[in-house]
Structure 1
Amino acid sequence: MSLPHRLLVGVALAAVSVTLGLLVAASLFLNSSRTVVLVGHDTVVRPTMARDAVIQTGPLLPDLRLRDVGPVGVTLSLGKTEVGSIEELVDRYAFIATDPTAQVDKVQGVVVDMAVSAAVRGLGVGLLPVAVFLLLGRHRRGELFRGLRTRQGLLALVLLLALPLLIWQPWETSEETQDDRGSWQTLAELAGATVVLPEEVRDIEIRTGPVTTQTKRLVLSAIDTYDKSKEFYSAAAEAAADLDLREPEEGETVALLVSDRHDNIGMDRVARAVGEAGGATVVLDAGDDTSTGQPWEAFSLDSLAGTFAEWDRFGIAGNHDNGTFVRTYLADEGWTMLDGEVVDAPWGGTLLGVDDPRSSGLGNWREETGLSFTEVGERLADAACDAVADGDRVSTVLVHDANLGREALSRGCVDLVLGGHTHVQAGPDPVEGEDGATGYTWTNGTTGGAAYAIAVGSKPRRDAEVSLVTYADGRPTGLQWVRLRTDGSWLVGEWEPITPAP
């Protein structure tokens, strides 16, 4: 075979391989789907070529559409969730929409992952003709091409070409559905001239059939919640940047302590703004990020993980973070979830923590189950004192309830115990331990502004709080609380020095 002929065959084979691979990859991508937890629902994500994002909310609420979201569109079919009423569900949608970054990033990540998966599979199919071509060899390929001139070979070729058509079946049609009968209308058109809408939502489209008065009221109520939430938390985050906070000195490290968020994603950007204003580079999460610890609350964890993505992140699960979902989810997002082992801390000292044993499914300690609150506190103290015996005094114990660290303080093995749980700030209180040692306990208020376990709303239900912990030479040296009032005003506590001994 001459060189030009070989080159021609190679180009033809490459063209067939690439074309086949692209067709298969595109087909697999456009017919693929993934189920993820999104906006509190088990959600089926399907890519489309329509360039629009369509949110199918189910039988009780109208679908939504956002136009021209990118080169590839997506359909989101919302499934099961946990909710007390339709009104509560709509308010949740509106609240999440005030800061949708984490949810948008999650959808984009899923679509990209589906595209990569389809491309890899398409590459595999595209390489199949090349493999067959090389496997047959020149002699067998010659026999195959000569066989195409026979009736039997011609019939085989026709059947081979018909195979994609038989798989595709373009003659199949679907029954007409209610979706086909609906039309799209912008929220501005639905609301009418008498209702003033935020500029960013006016062009969102809603699928309308026979839209009832009650449905329209729900939509307008959601818009009102969205507007108030976005305005409140945006103003709070902007004001946080100008708070008069103590600035860290050279050689100091500041950690931001959050606790009891209870799904309030609006406070995440506010908490970060406070941390940045105070020079924080580490975030310590004392638990109760959710209200029930169920997968529908993944939106809260997505927001937390995205907000502090570049920081050093440490956490434990609170009593409301039931089961292992919260712990596993945050660990997968890159958080260091403390489990009763002493770890090195970014400030040069050591850090120890454990999940709240009152969580359903939690409280395990090194393969032991059913331990009480007191027993877990004793095990925590044992771990801290073992570290002291090895020459590594524990600078901080992170727990959900500061009482869990009382035993470690009384034995004189830790400098500082940080917690939350009570939703009320307390401390710093010195605790005298054995051999003249002194440690401190500090309880942060509720970062989510939660009343009981509920924090979702257009603003905090009670004052929302974070704390700034200052470290130097591997040990804590001071604490400062920062509180956002329900009316949007700020209270800033004095920086209180602490001097743990020895």
Structure 2
Amino acid sequence: MGRRRRLVAGIAVVCLSVLLGISVAVSLFLSSSRTIVLVGHDTVVRPTFERDAVVETGPLLPDFRFRDVGPVGVRLTLGKTEVGSIEELVERYAYIAGDPTAPVGKVQDVVVDLAVSAALRGLGVGLVPIAFYLLLGRHRRGQLFRGLRTRNGILALALLLALPVLVWQPWEADEETQEDQGTWQTLAELAGPDVTLPAETRGIEVRTGPVTTESKKLVLSAVDTYEKSKEFYSTAAEGAADLDVRRPEDGETVALLVTDRHDNIGMDRVARAIGEAAGATVVLDGGDDTSTGQPWEAFSLDSLAATFDDWDRFGIAGNHDHGTFVSSYLADKGWTMLDGEVVDAPWGGTLLGVDDPRSSGLGNWRDESGLSFTEVGLRIADAACAAQDDGERVSTILVHDANLGREALSRGCVDLVLGGHTHVQAGPDAVEGEDGEVGYTWTNGTTGGAAYAIALGSKPRRDADVSLVTYADGRPVGLQWVRLRTDGSWLVGDYAAIEPG
């Protein structure tokens, strides 16, 4: 009889622990939040059980709702950002929506992380009754259960059961807000029968109200920009698969060089498609992924990281990637950001690179700061030549401006210098260095199709370039450029064989 009672008591404690753990986990999950940088904003992410994604844009623009996004929903409250006008802000939303893979994945990762964190905390709380049960021992547990039959025991149990209600305080009601006054209306209903919307946007809902009425033109303009952007870049990515680019032979490795993206996330999937057509497995990022290097431009880095997440990834920061944000952000995403040290490359050779010194916060050489462009060029040449003296000739120097590798080429210590910066493709140019050693310099155009410091648009503002670098036996053996023109047509450069050494 005693054993049966202990078994029943044990099962009861386990059930109580499970119930407590689940209750705490769910409560913590629904009350949790995290601030991230999303679509250029400081954004608060809050999970919900409504299965919808609600985007709260602030007082000047209408809120949006996406229905049935998954088993749990999310509420995104957009905060501060850098923007010149409301029109520019709405245009930015449209460009990012043209390829939402990276922001959607980022939100999903945050929600999963919040769920795991809440589950672990709930597990910890749920184990407390079991631990307490085991620590009491049989004799004290008997005393405790017998005590529950007394007046004081009943009072204590009532207080214990009242604790969750006191914490929850269901009688506290929120005041009626302006948000409660609005109703949800689909974009199709908002636009009216005279406007044709893309099929994937018709079900998106907008919170209606006085501001929504005033913002209707902005919303419809954004939809038009979204449609043009998605159509242009989707068509370009599909067309890239049929390009007549050189494929690698046995024993060769192809690297895709991208530079000067300047926030144009639409070109990322196009660049990836070109690389896949050429059999590339490595991406080299020559910098200027942003226009200012500020955290609001994390959407550009998220897109870059998501697009090439299964490739070998190496990069440096350009002169527009001000400060250390870009390098540290990509490093956290798994990129190898080159910092003046020779590293092993996936093609079997070695790789050397450094951030552009003309940006504030950059130009550091290990613990030394404030170096000029010329001084950094001398340091990277010293590093390349030191590696050669040790029997490891550097196959490639990756810099933002190819002129930064000029000294290393003149000393004959590197096979190939890759850069960008000028937004104009150039090379390959052979440079004969000391002792007759020959190296090459190659400059990629602007992958983002940037005319100036920013390239966001429904299509590139100028021709958009990527380069394909072929390696064999650890050394570069050929180069080829591919160009997407502003009218959507393609130009493919001839494959240029090179023979460094």
Query: TM bucket by the smaller chain?
Result: over 0.9
Per-residue CA deviation, residues 171-211 of structure 1 (Å, 9 max, x unaligned), is 00111111100000000000001111000000000000124
Counterpart Cα distance in 1 of 2:178 and 2:300 = 33
Per-residue CA deviation, residues 253-293 of structure 1 (Å, 9 max, x unaligned), is 11000000011000000001101111111100000011111
Secondary structure in 1 matching 2:90 = helix
Secondary structure in 1 matching 2:210 = coil
Supply the AA of the counterpart residue of 1:284. L
Counterpart Cα distance in 1 of 2:272 and 2:142 = 70
Counterpart Cα distance in 2 of 1:478 and 1:377 = 25
Supply the AA of the counterpart residue of 1:40. G
Supply the AA of the counterpart residue of 1:86. I
Supply the AA of the counterpart residue of 2:490. W
- The residue aligned with 1:336 is 336
Supply the AA of the counterpart residue of 1:393. R
Change (3 A) 1:199 1:121: same
8 A contact 2:62–2:212 mirrored in 1:
no
The alignment yields a C-alpha RMSD, in angstroms, of 1.0
- 1:130-145 mapped onto 2 (5 Å cutoff): 130-145=130-145
Secondary structure in 2 matching 1:81 = coil
Counterpart Cα distance in 2 of 1:152 and 1:8 = 24
- The residue aligned with 1:311 is 311
Per-residue CA deviation, residues 375-415 of structure 1 (Å, 9 max, x unaligned), is 00000000000000000110000000000000000000000
Secondary structure in 2 matching 1:28 = helix
Counterpart Cα distance in 2 of 1:222 and 1:29 = 34
Counterpart Cα distance in 2 of 1:212 and 1:438 = 64
- The residue aligned with 1:80 is 80
Per-residue CA deviation, residues 213-232 of structure 1 (Å, 9 max, x unaligned), is 54001000000000000000
Counterpart Cα distance in 2 of 1:188 and 1:440 = 56
User: Which ranges in structure 2 are unaligned for 5 or more consecutive residues?
Assistant: none
Identity of aligned residues (%): 81
- The residue aligned with 2:227 is 227
- The residue aligned with 1:372 is 372
2:437 paired with 1:430: no
Counterpart Cα distance in 1 of 2:55 and 2:209 = 16
Report the Cα offset of residue 43 of structure 1.
0.5
TM-score with structure 1 length normalisation? 0.98
2:193 paired with 1:193: yes
Counterpart Cα distance in 2 of 1:143 and 1:277 = 76
- The residue aligned with 2:402 is 402
- The residue aligned with 1:419 is 419
- The residue aligned with 1:9 is 9
Per-residue CA deviation, residues 90-143 of structure 1 (Å, 9 max, x unaligned), is 000010001001111111110000000000000011011111111222222222
Counterpart Cα distance in 1 of 2:105 and 2:246 = 34
Report the Cα offset of residue 13 of structure 1.
1.2
Q: Which moved more, 1:4-13 or 1:432-441?
A: 4-13
Supply the AA of the counterpart residue of 2:217. R
Report the Cα offset of residue 155 of structure 1.
2.0
- 1:150-161 mapped onto 2 (5 Å cutoff): 150-161=150-161
Report the Cα offset of residue 428 of structure 1.
0.7
Secondary structure in 1 matching 2:253 = strand
Change (3 A) 1:3 1:141: closer
- The residue aligned with 1:103 is 103
Secondary structure in 2 matching 1:256 = strand
Change (3 A) 1:157 1:212: closer
Counterpart Cα distance in 2 of 1:161 and 1:346 = 62
Secondary structure in 1 matching 2:244 = coil
Per-residue CA deviation, residues 451-483 of structure 1 (Å, 9 max, x unaligned), is 111100100000000000111111111110000
Supply the AA of the counterpart residue of 2:424. V
- 1:449-468 mapped onto 2 (5 Å cutoff): 449-468=449-468
Change (3 A) 1:146 1:7: closer
Report the Cα offset of residue 150 of structure 1.
2.9
Counterpart Cα distance in 2 of 1:369 and 1:310 = 34
Per-residue CA deviation, residues 19-67 of structure 1 (Å, 9 max, x unaligned), is 0100000000011101111111110000111100000001110000000
Secondary structure in 1 matching 2:439 = strand
- The residue aligned with 1:474 is 474
Counterpart Cα distance in 1 of 2:150 and 2:200 = 67
Supply the AA of the counterpart residue of 1:10. G
Counterpart Cα distance in 2 of 1:213 and 1:207 = 10
Secondary structure in 2 matching 1:303 = helix
Report the Cα offset of residue 75 of structure 1.
0.3
Counterpart Cα distance in 1 of 2:92 and 2:212 = 21
Counterpart Cα distance in 1 of 2:148 and 2:396 = 79
Secondary structure in 2 matching 1:30 = helix
- 1:486-497 mapped onto 2 (5 Å cutoff): 486-497=486-497
Counterpart Cα distance in 1 of 2:202 and 2:292 = 34
Report the Cα offset of residue 432 of structure 1.
1.2
Report the Cα offset of residue 366 of structure 1.
1.3
Report the Cα offset of residue 147 of structure 1.
2.5
- The residue aligned with 1:35 is 35
Counterpart Cα distance in 2 of 1:187 and 1:498 = 55
Q: How many residues align?
A: 501
